Amino acid sequence: MLRQANPNQTRLGAIAFVNTLPIDFRFTPGPDILRRYEAPAVLNALIRAGQLDVSPVSSLCYLREKHRLYLLPGVSVSSFGAVESVLFLTRFDLDSADFAAMPHIYVPDDSETSIGLLSLLLREKTGDDASARFTSYPAAQAADILATWDNALIIGDRALYVQEQREQGGYGDFQAIDLSLWWRRQTGLPFVFAVWAARKDWAATHPDVLADIQQRLCDSRDGSFHNPELFQALLQAARDKSGLSPATLERYYRHCLDYQFDDAHRQALTRFEAAMGLSVEEHTHVS
């Protein structure tokens, strides 16, 4: 359980992958903010339980909980094409009898949105609701799952490791489907993996704090990309954190990820909401 040393502290979530490092890199919390790094699925659970005040959350979590969450404007974790950190690997073509006969499709326990996106992909490719075959696995065991069971959805830093290995000739007997690229080809829209949100009950009583956090997140993002020295420091921090190569990380930040949230992202979120069979409503944000 997240402990608050001071009842006036803001409990701020942060994603424990390198994907949000540009947003977190120059954001230094003072004593008024208690920051907690976790995998996306854990952050989703914490904000649902009221144990975080503000946090990045999976877009599917936001859509399911938006009746009690405010959407912070201007910032997201999105992609306009191949994201490289959300990959579904399988030894069999999706339309093959071998794939249809597989009793289990393995999905990691640190994801929510990517699992929903995979369910859409498989429904479009096979015409069936394959989610009944989804089997959760501990994310740290991704390599073992692939070796043993011929398929796995892999996200975050682990997917980037797989991408690096594929570029060096590894996983050659696997088909690797980048789910963000698939979405882009289907819709022409970016895919929004995560947004920043605040609990409405907390936001109603802390509007100035929330506005300050939102501004600092955007300032950190902009500074990380606009200042060449800061960007090189960001790459080094990401390399120290992940062990990934500078080339992989620079491509990831500059060409795979997008951290804005504008009309195209809002349309994409609405499209995803409808595709998942959720009620489509106006997304509330703090202005």
Query: Where a domain ends, among 187, 217, 243?
Result: 187
Q: Do 158 and 109 fall into the same domain?
A: yes
Q: What is the pLDDT of residues 103-156, one digit of tens each?
A: 999 999 999 999 999 999 999 988 889 999 999 999 999 999 998 999 999 999
Q: Do 203 and 266 fall into the same domain?
A: yes
Q: Do 71 and 91 fall into the same domain?
A: no
**Is 284 among the domain residues?**
no
**Is 5 among the domain residues?**
no
Res 29: pLDDT? 84
Q: Do 143 and 100 fall into the same domain?
A: yes
Query: Where a domain ends, among 187, 219, 254?
Result: 187
Res 30: pLDDT? 84
* Distance in angstroms (rounded) separating the CA atoms of residues 126 and 96: 9
Query: pLDDT-based confidence at 281, cuts 50/70/90?
Result: low
What is the domain range of residue 18? 10-78+192-275
* Distance in angstroms (rounded) separating the CA atoms of residues 135 and 66: 27
Question: Does 221 have pLDDT greater than 80?
Answer: yes
Question: Does 286 have pLDDT greater than 50?
Answer: no
Residue 98 neighbours by CB under 8 Å, 6+ apart: 92
**Is 200 among the domain residues?**
yes
Closest CA to 55 of 24, 12, 18, 1: 12
Closest CA to 177 of 159, 190, 164: 159
**Is 285 among the domain residues?**
no
Question: Does 258 have pLDDT greater than 80?
Answer: yes
Q: Do 161 and 26 fall into the same domain?
A: no
Res 7: pLDDT? 72
Q: What is the pLDDT of residues 147-191, one digit of tens each?
A: 899 999 999 999 999 999 999 999 989 999 999 999 999 999 999
* Distance in angstroms (rounded) separating the CA atoms of residues 109 and 106: 10
Beta carbons within 10 angstroms of residue 51's beta carbon? 18
Residue 190 neighbours by CB under 8 Å, 6+ apart: 78, 79, 80, 184, 258, 264, 265, 268
Q: Do 200 and 244 fall into the same domain?
A: yes
Q: Domain containing 171 — which CATH number?
A: 3.40.190.10
**Is 130 among the domain residues?**
yes
Q: Do 200 and 74 fall into the same domain?
A: yes
Averaged pLDDT, 262-283:
86
- Using alpha carbons, list the distances in angstroms from residue 9 to 32, 56, 68: 5, 18, 20
Closest CA to 25 of 253, 223, 229: 223
**Is 4 among the domain residues?**
no
Query: Where a domain ends, among 156, 187, 218?
Result: 187
Count of domains for the chain? 2
Q: Do 197 and 66 fall into the same domain?
A: yes
